[in-house]
Structure 1
Amino acid sequence: MIRFFDLVFSALGLLLGWPIMLLLVVIGFFDTGSPLFRQERVGRHQKPFLLVKFRTMRPGTASVATHLASAEAITPFGRFLRRTKLDELPQLWNVLKGEMSLVGPRPCLFNQQELVAERARRGVYNARPGITGLAQVNNIDMSTPTLLAETDAIMLSRLRVVDYFRYILQTLLGKGAGDRVRSNS
């Protein structure tokens, strides 16, 4: 049932959201010269997939978890995209392709070994990674790998259709601050 909702909402989101995404691509060209960001992430059954987002950091920024990246790497337009969560829109393509779900554990990088191991131990990789979920709406990010993996496992063990819609609605209403970024002050 959830996959059906993923297909419907990602297709509708891409169909109805293309004018906004086109505008963001144009602005992104002026901001960084490269508006889309592609990065290999850990997917379902620990298989790699290419996550697509709008670029929020300067090109050439080290490929590390957000909480390890420098806040100075984020462009002013990137801050806007992150605050409004518009940087996530291209992931609707990942959802449509079946690599992700709208709701699930946020996909991490393969170099986040502690988080990968904690999630594997808890069976989190049996599910598709998601754009949002319980951890995200409760401000739990990848800087606390054990807590994140525990929260992901709890969410997946209890996930019902009503929770699916609740996490999406909470995200759209701005609950959850997103991944922390290291301050250089």
Structure 2
Amino acid sequence: MRGARVLTGCLALLALAVGCDDDDAVGDGADAGMTRQGPCSVGESVCVEGRLRTCLEDETGWLVERCDEGTVCVEDACVPQVCEPGSRECTDEGVRTCAADGQSWSSPTACPTDHGCLDGVCLARTCTPGETACGDKVALTCDADGLRWNRAPCAAAERCIDGACTAEPGG
């Protein structure tokens, strides 16, 4: 008989535990909700796990909101992102990477001397900046970073000679 009571008591506790949830947010849980995690002061805001928590007017809990697209939660407010987290870009000094919080850039990492930077990646130079060449009725000029050839098609009565479009003799 005692074993049955212990088993019944354990089952009752198990049923209560299954009904409990660690997430105390009220609402749809996707973008916003209210949470009852203790008292707070009206006007108080804080960022927790990337979401903005603002104290409810009755000071009994928090309104939890996700920041709008293009903003991140920093300290106690949603602020515009400086950059897309993890993105990379070229600077005069090399390649820099956006921080995970989208609020700052890393110090640039210089590309090797025989490389240039294109779309956040160091690439081997394909030409000397300012160098000229000819293609099929096209004058080519190496761009400033030495990574691409800029094309300038020659007119119908021209041809490319020494990297420049010139009039055909007798044309």
Q: TM-score, normalization: structure 1?
A: 0.19
Q: TM-score, normalization: structure 2?
A: 0.20
**Which has the greater radius of gyration?**
2
